[in-house]
Structure 1
Amino acid sequence: MNKGDVLFFVNSQNSPGSSEKSGGFHLSEAAYPYKTITEAGFKVDFVSPEGGIAPFDGVDLDDTVNDWFLNDKAARKKITQTLRPEQITSHDYPAVYIIGSLGAISDIENNGPLQTIAQTIWENQGIVASIGYGYAGLLNVTLSDGSYLIDGKKLAAPGNEPNVADNALSFTTKMLREELEKRGADMVRAEPETDSVITDGRLITGSGTASASAMGQTILKEFKKYLYQVDLR
């Protein structure tokens, strides 16, 4: 049995559908929260649709946290030996963090087992967090009453409105935002390259990679609050 504190969702596919764009998650979006949470004494596990090696990009070795993550044996093992959904017992995790990428849009959006994990953690009064395109993992999560998890919740809006109509990346961002709004999400827009993080109860969302450090700190803060309230330790 795997038992941890925070479960990180990452995608398995390296590209979104037939796109030639990289679909790996941005390393900082995993590295910063992972370092913050584990250095506070909590355990992090990674799960992906297929398990095994998870693709990533955006590596900046001049970034001390990126460099630390790739040189830390335990952290490296986490992203090269990710768990499969069937290896996860949702009740063992009080918090889930969904890491975004273009690959996540095709790989996680309609993954039933991962959606069930997120639903179970939320309905167990746990914390659900997401960054950037990680919204693909929240988009279709429904609760036991049939409502969308994100309905009526404030979310940090991913990206900006497209400046060029045929820019695939911007168009994907716009489409994702519109789909979130159709499901009742209240999107809170931020300026580009800011560390916008929005907390709405137990739901924490970050606008993108610039939010990675603040996401880790916010998840840790809310997680400690959760532990205190339910007296788990």
Structure 2
Amino acid sequence: MKHRLLALVTWLILFTYTQVAAARSDTELTAATEHAAIETAIQDYFHGSAYSDKARLKQAFHSQARLYLEKPDTPFWEVPATDYINWYKEANQGKFNGRLGRILHIDRAGNLATVKAEILMPARQQRYIDMFLLKKLDGMWQILSKSAVGEASPHNGKRILFILSSAHFHGDSKLPTGVSFSEIVNAYDEFAKAGFSIDFVSPEGGALPLAYINTSEPMHKKYLYNSDFMYAIGHTLKPEQVVAQDYRAVHYVGGTNAMYGVADHPQLQKISMTIYEQHGGIISAVCHGTAGIAHLRLKNGEYLVKGRRISGYPDEYEHQDRPYFQEFPFLITKTIEERGGTFLYSPRNTPHIEIDGRIITGQNYLSSAGVAKAMIDILTKETAN
């Protein structure tokens, strides 16, 4: 009897656990589906307003939606969505007017959502922040209201793609790892100040595992409490969402988790080489992020690093007697050199940057800002010419 009772209790526990897990999975799936539907509504607005596509705009806005805008001497200007849509002339349909839209933040509560978006108009050196209120009505997300504020801006519309690992642990172990927060923010800050837009992609998409966060460090604190930045870190793109031609450069970020899931990812490899070979873009990497470029090949089959000066975190500086090191699928210095590259680095805790054409690499987090500055210099000269 006791054995039967124990078996029943065990079954009930397993059944309950399975039901809870299934419910959690369904909830996560629903959240992702609703998030995607909200994004679709905003993308309809982006496209419609950039290409004078009234059909897309009508799809984005509820018929009774209102826009709250500004104009000289009229700080509160209410415009019906129907009037706003008619501002876009059919004669201009399909013609790009220079508006570049990007979602900065989405917050959903049931069938209600708010969205913060950025609209850049580089030719006019203008930047707008749009705030939307959306509601799901009759199974469809639509904009109920929009307000906007504009400012002069140096944003140039050029985009940099940060490539980061999704790995939370070293290999198959339970040893935690993550993306170096310093390497993200030190480079991000330089690009942002120079007017570039940054997107993040990871093998699995979604939230990143972060490492080495120090809230006493001013740069860390600046971005850790920046809701737009942290939203982007928590909602990285999946590789299939990336359109390579939209970017002028890729930047592989380190942290020891960069050793896993990035270097051998076919879609990420294709994105990088398309940007580099077809669009004349830059490939860059810092610290363990250099692992991400070790397997890249040119169209002719040769390795990207062959005959190149490359930096990154050297094998010599690893703690080779510790368990994490045993999980590494390959070694950075050894692999780069085996593939014809020259691996260069400086003493510990000093910056080291190598610029070899459109391949720019750095040794450690102290090199992140310098690598970004070198990239900005090349991209700025490219614009000038």
Normalized against structure 2, the TM-score is what?
Answer: 0.56
Point out where structure 2 has 5 or more consecutive residues left out of the alignment.
Answer: 1-42, 44-101, 103-156
Q: Which has the higher contact order (CA 8 A, sep 6+)?
A: 1
Closer/same/farther in 2, CA of residues 144 and 164 from structure 1, 3 Å limit: closer
Q: How does 1:116-195 map to 2 (within 5 A)?
A: 116-123=270-277, 124-159=279-314, 161=316, 165-168=320-323, 172=328, 175-195=331-351
Partner of 2:207: 53
Distance 1:16 1:163 in 2: 14
Point out where structure 1 has 5 or more consecutive residues left out of the alignment.
Answer: none
For residue 357 of structure 2, the aligned residue among 201, 210, 220 is 201
Partner of 2:370: 214
Amino acid at match of 1:144: K
| Structure 1 SS opposite 2:361 | strand
For residue 94 of structure 1, the aligned residue among 242, 248, 254 is 248
Distance 2:221 2:325 in 1: 29
Closer/same/farther in 2, CA of residues 134 and 92 from structure 1, 3 Å limit: same
Residues 195-204 or 206-215, more deviating? 206-215
Q: Does the 8 Å CA contact 1:162/1:174 hold for their aligned counterparts?
A: no
Distance 1:144 1:163 in 2: 33
Distance 2:211 2:381 in 1: 32
Residues 212-221 or 154-163, more deviating? 154-163
User: What is the aligned length?
Assistant: 229
Q: Does the 8 Å CA contact 1:153/1:186 hold for their aligned counterparts?
A: yes
Partner of 2:224: 70
| Structure 2 SS opposite 1:15 | coil
Q: CA RMSD in A?
A: 2.2
Distance 1:164 1:57 in 2: 18
Closer/same/farther in 2, CA of residues 163 and 198 from structure 1, 3 Å limit: closer
Choose 1 or 2 for highest CA Rg.
2
Normalized against structure 1, the TM-score is what?
Answer: 0.90
| Structure 2 SS opposite 1:226 | helix
| Structure 1 SS opposite 2:200 | strand
Distance 2:201 2:330 in 1: 27
| Structure 1 SS opposite 2:331 | helix
Closer/same/farther in 2, CA of residues 61 and 164 from structure 1, 3 Å limit: closer
Q: Does the 8 Å CA contact 2:289/2:312 hold for their aligned counterparts?
A: no
